[in-house]
Amino acid sequence: MRGRPQLYTSYAADQALLNTGTKRLSFALFGVVLLCLPLGFIPGFRWAADADWMLVLAEVAILFIAALGLNLLTGLAGQVSLGHAFFMGVGAYVAAILGSPEGPLWGLGLPIWVWLPAAGLVAAAIGVLIAPTSFRVRGLYLAIVTLGLVFIGEHLFRNLDFITGGSQSGRTFPPLEFKFWKEETPFIDFATDGDWFGVELTGQAKTYYLMLGLALIAGLVAKNIQRTRAGRAFQSIRDRDIAAEITGVDEFRYKTIAFALSSFFAGVAGALFASFVGRTIPEAFGLPLSVEVIAIVLIGGAGVVSGMGMGAAFVIVMPLIVRTITEWLTQVAKTGEGVFQKIADVLVSTGTFDPGLVSASAGSGPGLNVFQLNQVLYGLLIVGFIIFEPLGLYGIWLRVRNYWKGWPFTY
């Protein structure tokens, strides 16, 4: 079939992950851009090499991993779970017990290749314990059960203060570094600047590379599970559970596997998140974190691996944009003049007695603070996407792609 590269000539070519030339090219380009970002020479993306942006992108990668887990459970297997933050918390504290240096709180000082997999495995084991509830209750009721899980988890984390440090001070988590065992100096660390293969990199850039690599592995694993036997079993249970059973899918078994895998991703992401942040309090693993992951799944496109990347980027970057706009409006309200100053003054509250919709910093006036405004926006976006575009950002991308595929014809 020379000259017709768009035709598949074997089923193997059809089943390949990147099964068209366009996909291969765009994936390669995307990869090169991501790899070169920290070096700061890509025109139009120089700002991304900034240390703050490196951290933002690393956080996107971590939440991408967390969202992949929830996507497996909710997007593929159709089991609605609000408990993702709980499993992330379990992962984080398992990592802390195993990886943090010995001190007043529990910590064994083991290296990352012990605490990271262990965080996933322990979370997965707890996921297996929770799974049977999904066999008794479905849909919204399961959501309520898993919601309860978040509150039980938060209560436990708060009271097990010899592990978590309690709500007052929280605790430190194991640093991101590669050691063979418990020795003092790691052979790769992500805290200090240094050079890799002759390239001078900041600590943030190194962290970014680590998270990028882990996210790539996680994405590949999730995609492979999705396109093979187990993935189809999950989807069949989501779409029609009784027909799935009669077709030979063991519903109980596959729901359990879905919970275990989902919790594994959550545990790993939770451990990475805690280690990345460095120090955090038990409340960090509460309902808002669950909502954030759900927002990623629904905004990105439930059931679509690449959608999780788009969703994670969107959900992480949106608050930054909201904050920037609010700060800018505050500035305008204080020092601007004319009609713009009036509009800005109505929108933002600049002091304790100034009415407004939103205030730039928490507790500085009536109205919402930026964090609360973000929660409201998540809610609106989730509702909006479910009603107007159930496939999320991925669905929007599909429509754009299909429009340009046929351009200049309408179909």
Q: Is 243 in the site for other proteins (CB under 8 A)?
A: yes
Cis peptide before 408 (omega within 30 of 0): yes
Q: Work out how close the CB of 79 gets to other proteins at its nearest, in angstroms, rounded to a whole number.
A: 15
Please choose, out of 149-157, 174-182, 207-215, 229-237, the segment that lies near other proteins by the rule CB under 8 A: 229-237
Cα–Cα dist 29/51, whole Å = 23
| 365 in Cβ contact with 356 (< 8 Å) | yes
Binding residues with other proteins: total (CB under 8 A):
32
Among 3, 43, 44, 248, binds other proteins (CB under 8 A): 248
Among 81, 235, 349, 350, binds other proteins (CB under 8 A): 235
Among 62, 110, 201, 257, binds other proteins (CB under 8 A): 257
Distance of CA 392 to the CA centre of its chain: 15
Cβ distance to other proteins smaller for residue 158 or 232: 232
Q: What are phi and psi of 29, to 5 degrees?
A: -60, -45
Give the number of other Cβ atoms within 10 Å of residue 5's Cβ. 10
Q: Is 68 in the site for other proteins (CB under 8 A)?
A: no
Cα–Cα dist 127/266, whole Å = 10
Q: Work out how close the CB of 145 gets to other proteins at its nearest, in angstroms, rounded to a whole number.
A: 24
Among 34, 97, 233, 289, binds other proteins (CB under 8 A): 233
Q: Work out how close the CB of 265 gets to other proteins at its nearest, in angstroms, rounded to a whole number.
A: 11
Cα distances (angstroms) measured from residue 92 to each of 215, 239, 287:
17, 33, 16
The pair of structure tokens assigned to 146 is 């898993």
Cα–Cα dist 164/170, whole Å = 6
Q: Is 242 in the site for other proteins (CB under 8 A)?
A: yes
* Residue reference for tokens 């409006």: 329
Cβ distance to other proteins smaller for residue 159 or 247: 247
Q: Work out how close the CB of 239 gets to other proteins at its nearest, in angstroms, rounded to a whole number.
A: 4
Cβ distance to other proteins smaller for residue 8 or 106: 8
Among 151, 250, 380, 403, binds other proteins (CB under 8 A): 250
Q: Is 246 in the site for other proteins (CB under 8 A)?
A: yes
Q: Work out how close the CB of 142 gets to other proteins at its nearest, in angstroms, rounded to a whole number.
A: 19
Cα–Cα dist 378/369, whole Å = 14
Q: Is 221 in the site for other proteins (CB under 8 A)?
A: yes
Q: Is 330 in the site for other proteins (CB under 8 A)?
A: no
Cα–Cα dist 267/273, whole Å = 10
Sign of CA dihedral 229, 234, 240, 244: positive
Cβ distance to other proteins smaller for residue 235 or 349: 235
Q: Is 111 in the site for other proteins (CB under 8 A)?
A: no
Cα–Cα dist 337/391, whole Å = 44
Among 7, 12, 140, 321, binds other proteins (CB under 8 A): 12
Cα distances (angstroms) measured from residue 338 to each of 200, 210, 341, 345, 350:
49, 49, 6, 11, 17
Q: Which residues bind other proteins (CB under 8 A)?
A: 11-12, 14-15, 221, 224-225, 227-233, 235-236, 238-240, 242-251, 257, 261, 303
